[in-house]
Amino acid sequence: MMDIGSCYLDGNADVVEFCPHDSFYDILAAGTYTLQEGAQPHRAGSTSLFSTRDGLSLLCRVPTIGVFDLKWSPRGQNAPPLLTQAGADGGVVLYKLESQLKEEDQGPFFQAICSENISSSMCLCMDWHPSASSISLGHSDGSLSLVAVKDDKVQVSQSWLGHDYEVWATSFDAQRPNLLYSGSDDCCFSCWDLRAPTDDVVFRNAKAHRMGVCCISQDPANTNILLTGSYDEFLRVWDVRSTSRPVCEKSLCLGGGVWRIKHHPYKSNLVLTACMHNGFAIVRIEDGDIQVVETYHKHESLAYGADWQRGEMSAQGMQRQGLLVSTCSFYDRLLRIWQPEVLQLSAF
């Protein structure tokens, strides 16, 4: 592997997200969450924007409430990229990213365009609907919310109590976006049909995960396959063709709680994972086999944030530039970008 750059953030680092939109592949967002203790405890944070075009350089930093999650709007929309922030105050902030209009201006233009309180409990996770028309949110009181996005504004359209404890993961089904998956500290992996009454769950698996469900990710090349990560240290592969009874096909212990799962943007059999107490790992899932093919242990604290850079592709399907990975760790406040060695192997 090759280390490209690193820096320390202004608070405990817990989330990184590369922008997936054309012309902005080099833009990286990072969020922090720091509990300020004292007579009046306060959850402080920031959202920072970096350029990775030549190393790692800070473009701007916005002080805010503690940030639990960041998500860029889906690709393919005829609009500037939007970045949403899930906050410890129960609110959602919407940022817009645009190219600068003046040649002498450095970097893109980034501003908060909307801030809306969604819940009295903390917003812990979020996901964009594939059409970019709405956002799903998971909350610390076990509830889920659906928030409509229109004309640069957000409005709650649906809320329901889906779990007994904190909801750490929500994910829309890309093929059937009326389905929403969720995972929680109650050890449940659930699926909801947004067209049905909110108390009518499609499925709820409460037996497979021995601890809380931290993350959910759908295979972009085979939407019948879902991955879940759990505090119990296992990455699980699910077949959801029968949504009323998903089948756990295989699992792999990664030696630390699986906090983040990110499929490679072009090689969906490669999955980047943040393993909390055991650094970061790249896993290959192929032909009934699941195995770790690369690890990264250059952080000295909880491995939380992880993402692939999308990068540009030629007409022949070859990547024009070296694809980067960004990772961050919590208490040491460290952000790093690096190039995995596994991508240089012809077998992948």
**DSSP characters for 233-302?**
SEEEEEE-SSTTS-EEEEEEE-SS---EEEE-SS-TTEEEEE-BTT-EEEEEEETTEEEEEEEE----S-
Q: What is the pLDDT along the chain (348 residues), one digit of tens a residue?
A: 689 999 999 999 999 999 999 989 999 999 999 998 878 788 999 999 999 998 999 999 999 999 999 999 999 877 889 999 999 999 999 999 987 654 555 667 889 999 999 999 999 999 999 999 999 999 999 999 999 999 889 999 999 999 999 999 999 999 999 999 999 999 999 999 999 987 789 999 999 999 999 999 999 999 999 999 999 999 999 999 887 788 998 999 999 999 999 999 999 999 999 999 999 999 999 887 999 999 999 999 999 999 999 976 554 444 545 589 999 999 999 999 999 998 765 444
The model carries a pTM of 0.94
pLDDT of residue 245: 83
Question: How many Å apart are CA 95 and CA 81, to the nearest integer?
Answer: 8
CA distance linking residue 278 with residue 190, whole number of Å: 27
What number of other Cβ atoms are within 10 A of residue 263's Cβ?
20
Supply the pLDDT for residue 107.
Answer: 66
Q: φ, ψ for residue 344 (rounded to 5)? A: -85, -10
Strand ranges inside 99-245, DSSP E = 109-117, 123-128, 134-139, 143-150, 153-161, 167-172, 179-184, 189-193, 201-205, 213-218, 225-230, 234-239
CA distance 268 to 72: 19
CA distances from 65 to 56, 90, 157, 326 (A): 24, 10, 24, 23
Q: Which residue has tokens 């996901």?
A: 127
The domain in which residue 294 lies consists of 2-344
Angle ∠(160,179,134) on CA atoms, nearest 5: 70
Nearest to 220 by CA among 275, 287, 173: 173
Which uninterrupted H or E stretch holds 71? strand 67-72
* CATH code, domain carrying 340: 2.130.10.10
What is the total count of domains within the chain?
A: 1
At residue 103, the pLDDT reads 52
Distance CA 285, CA 261 (A): 13
pLDDT for res 98:
86
